[in-house]
A and B are shown apart, each in its own frame.
Chain A
């Protein structure tokens, strides 16, 4: 068990290191010269040289790389050109808004997805199953940028029921969180339905019924425990996905003051340190989530625990 977790942690650390490296080289391979971007249009060649020196860009690539790693280890990911503040600090100032929206969408996705998935599997072809399958199909197919715009058009502009942008009241959460949770709901519903169907067909479920185990216990303990293994990966994957992927699109549409919108703005303003720290932060979140999933697996499945 300890060996297993230690191995996972080492793999996680290696992944983060690999991404740091890739990010470093990709940003330096890009065509845009950061110095030219930072300088005002009337700057002299002398200014450019000074700035190049200041950021250490005149040094060999490998030296820059080691310095970059050293700084990254200390939590220094450069300074935002736009805000003239540490990039990480800029990111963290905007992160709580993303986390709040992400958590709301996450909780909705898990609650709705799991319950619809389980009920559908227990009662296939029932009313809930049919509706669930329809919603899952829609959720998988409709892109969130389109759903977001349609929501704004219908509930915001036509009906004037909900605020269309910004963050403030509880009502501000409704449209963005619905928009963000549509795809995860579809994913969790479909996966938990199919895993539960498989589990409910298995011999250990028949055996539990033979023993006279009550049906709710058969479903929630015997079947669900087994079905939860594949579902968990998706659930935690979704949590990172929500904070990363959906946030960029949904926050931009609904002008939500989170890191998704920040990274879009920074990208258009060529504020590379912020974009760079966003990519690294996202990696960190994804890797941490995967690490948590691996540890939960070991907790659920004794075959992993006793490896």
Chain B
């Protein structure tokens, strides 16, 4: 764990559980990572691995009442968010830390105009200067929605999928947050629109100099805009690497599997590669490494205890027993 005070965000051993009738579900089980200033970090993993819960935890918005942050520290600008009051958190949300949800069709309130929803980050953080409507129009223009002057009064159902996603991004970036979490911002979009949206996000990041955590299960998206990748599996970070290292020399068997699963254009294959087996049930986690039941290189120790985080080189660490000897 490399700690330096230039980090914008640092999670230390974050544990988040859901308490259900069937028992405790450890959705996030000891996650530590940091995000530097102006960095774009990709958080990748399968559905249900805890990516979204991790990001909601950063905003202290884990679904209530079942979900609870059990332990850990969330340092944002060297201040522990776990010690903040609900009102202090509210003031941070939408101002210094913001988030874009994945499905714009359900993330927008269908009964309020796009303008009313865009104006909220300004209104509730006392950022209104002059006309709120003009601010919303400017914001829509910033995310390249055509004819923002008339579009601002539209309702979400009058927007196309791509435009809705742009409007959602606009809500996220309204107050130029230091940290923007984008939860699969392109999943609901078709490929060409997705590419436009990613390009837009990168442009905005350059302009606002904010840091971005991009949650996705799409490695192509990661390759396009991220500088660093965090691979998450069953509630834990298994690999933390720069984008270059991740694609050139992935260390964790799961990361290797993920990269192999991506079909390559121009290289025809009979059958796409897939990792055998299923992710473990959150109710019954394996004793040792969570990936061990699916891992082709698993050894005895892998089934017995969880591997420590091993530094391979600067900015590249992995949680895997294969590297414990070196």
Contacts and interface: CB of A to CB of B under 8 A. Distances in A.
A203 B171 contact: no
A303 B110 contact: yes
Interface in B141-167: 155, 157-158
B134 interface: no
A222 interface: yes
Nearest to B109: A204
Most buried by B among A203, A225, A300: A203
B93 A209 contact: yes
A305 to B, nearest CB: 9
Contacts of A212: 90-95, 120-121, 124-125
B65 interface: yes
Contact of A207 (B63, B90, B108, B155): B108
A213 interface: yes
A221 B119 CA distance: 14
Contacts of B90: 209, 212, 214-215
Contacts of A79: none
A211 interface: yes
Contacts of B110: 204, 226, 301-303
Interface residues of A, number: 26
B59 interface: yes
B98 interface: yes
A127 interface: no
Interface string A202-220: 1110111111111101000
A206 B111 contact: no
B93 A226 contact: no
A302 B91 CA distance: 31
A207 to B, nearest CB: 5
Nearest to A124: B65
Contacts of A125: 65
Determine the interface band of chain B, counting residues with CB < 8 A from chain A. Answer: 20 to 34
Interface string B101-120: 10100111111110000001
A207 B98 CA distance: 10
Interface in A208-252: 208-215, 217, 221-222, 225-226
A268 interface: no
A306 interface: yes
Contacts of B106: 202-204
B230 interface: no
A198 to B, nearest CB: 12
A213 B50 CA distance: 25
Contact of B111 (A207, A213, A301): A301
A303 B112 CA distance: 11
B193 interface: no
Nearest to B121: A211
A226 B94 contact: no
30 contacts: A203-B101, A203-B103, A204-B106, A204-B108, A204-B109, A206-B61, A206-B101, A207-B107, A207-B108, A207-B168, A208-B109, A208-B120, A209-B59, A209-B61, A210-B98, A210-B99, A211-B93, A211-B124, A211-B171, A212-B90, A212-B94, A212-B95, A212-B124, A213-B94, A221-B112, A225-B112, A226-B109, A226-B110, A302-B111, A303-B157
Interface of A: 124-125, 201-204, 206-215, 217, 221-222, 225-226, 300-303, 306
User: Would you list the 9 A-B pairs with minimal beta carbon distance, nearest first?
Assistant: A212-B94, A211-B94, A212-B93, A204-B109, A302-B155, A203-B106, A203-B107, A207-B107, A210-B99
Given A203-B106, A213-B120, A306-B155, 13 more contacts: A125-B65, A204-B110, A207-B101, A208-B109, A209-B93, A211-B93, A212-B120, A212-B121, A214-B124, A215-B90, A217-B124, A226-B111, A302-B113
